Amino acid sequence: MRADRLMSVLLLLQARGRVTAAEVAAELEVSERTARRDLEALSMAGVPVYSQQGRNGGWQLIGGARTDLSGLTADEARALFLVAGPSSQATPQVKQALRKLVQALPEPFRPEAEAATAAVVVDPTEWGGRRQQRPAPPHLDSIQRAVVEGEQVRLSYVSRDGESTERMIHPLGLAAKGQVWYLVADTDAGQRTFRVDRVTAVEPTGLAVVRPPDFDLTEAWGRITAEVDEKRSPFRGRGTVEPGSVGLLRQMFGAAVRIGGTAESGRVEFEVAGWNVWSVAGELAGLGRLVEMTEPEELIDRLGAVGRELSALYDPELRGRAPVDAERRELGRARRDRVPDVEHDV
């Protein structure tokens, strides 16, 4: 514990230039006597710290000396803060450690490290809850650099429908959703979101990014994901579920399910979202009597049809009488993962 405290004292000296024992005690939540012993221990250990008596006295490093506690290069420091710094994911302990590390970095490294802490938001859930291994996009490093350094770039990009474009953009931030990286940027057409793995070239321009004065990456990403989720899951179904199966429902549907209150029957109300009635009914059918859907009628009818089809296929008395369902064949040809075009290319 004392080693941690001594490092904290040194970081305070580096950050503030001069401190009193009372200030150190207040900052580290120790007694003034303990703070004074720690300051003296640093001096005896060879750290160039000395005390000055008098009204404006205190402890300071000789000649404003600084100690590089990190040993990091500029690129390593930027990478560390890009990975560990996003406010939406960092624990209080990580945030405190990063604040300390910022003060330990050599002066030229600090602006980029501090910028990197606000340059990325990490969203661990992929669209639809899917998981798959993906290689890092080839131009991710160049885009990270542009975001952190606040430099406009000329972006060559292939959209979801295969159209190649080239445009000047103001990079505002990066977001990782699952293993997919997205770039949030201002363009001539307004704010847009680009998949980094669809970027084919990044050309620095030397021009500074013009950031909206009220832009906050975490808030912006929250709005983007809400809009995209709405577009990806326009169909809604409502019903009730056995209390003991709420966890299973959450596991199956993830963010696409909203759990409500408890009905008079003792069952738990919920709302589930999906691309269409076919996809929602197909997943709910596997839960059998654990769920009971109350609306819309379209979903109830679809579940009834699924039940009759399953009975015809697997009930010994009805086997071989499964109806031919032209709509169900059409489902196999539907592109259920297609997302309507919005301002965000996901």
Which tens digits make up the pLDDT trace of 192-241? 999 999 999 999 999 999 999 888 988 898 888 888 877 778 899 999 99
- How sure is the predictor about 59, in pLDDT bands with cuts at 50, 70 and 90? confident
CATH class belonging to 127-225: mainly beta
What percent of the chain is modeled with pLDDT above 70? 67
pLDDT at 153: 96
pLDDT at 25: 87
Domain residue spans of the chain: 2-64, 74-118, 127-225, 233-333
pLDDT at 24: 86
Distance CA 105, CA 88 (A): 23
Question: Which residues are paired to 269 by β-bridges?
Answer: 240
The DSSP bridge pattern shows strands 235-241 and 291-295 to be antiparallel
| Assigned architecture for domain 2-64 | Orthogonal Bundle (1.10)
pLDDT at 97: 61
Q: What is the pTM (predicted TM-score) of this model? A: 0.49
- How sure is the predictor about 340, in pLDDT bands with cuts at 50, 70 and 90? very low
pLDDT in tens, 161-180: 889 999 999 999 998 887 78
Residue entry with tokens 């885009």: 143
Q: Which two tokens stand for residue 305?
A: 């049809």
- How sure is the predictor about 79, in pLDDT bands with cuts at 50, 70 and 90? low
Distance CA 168, CA 17 (A): 43
Q: At a CB cut-off of 8 Å and minimum separation 6, what does 247 contact?
A: none
How far is C-alpha 325 from the chain's CA centre?
42
- Same topology between domain 2-64 and domain 127-225: no
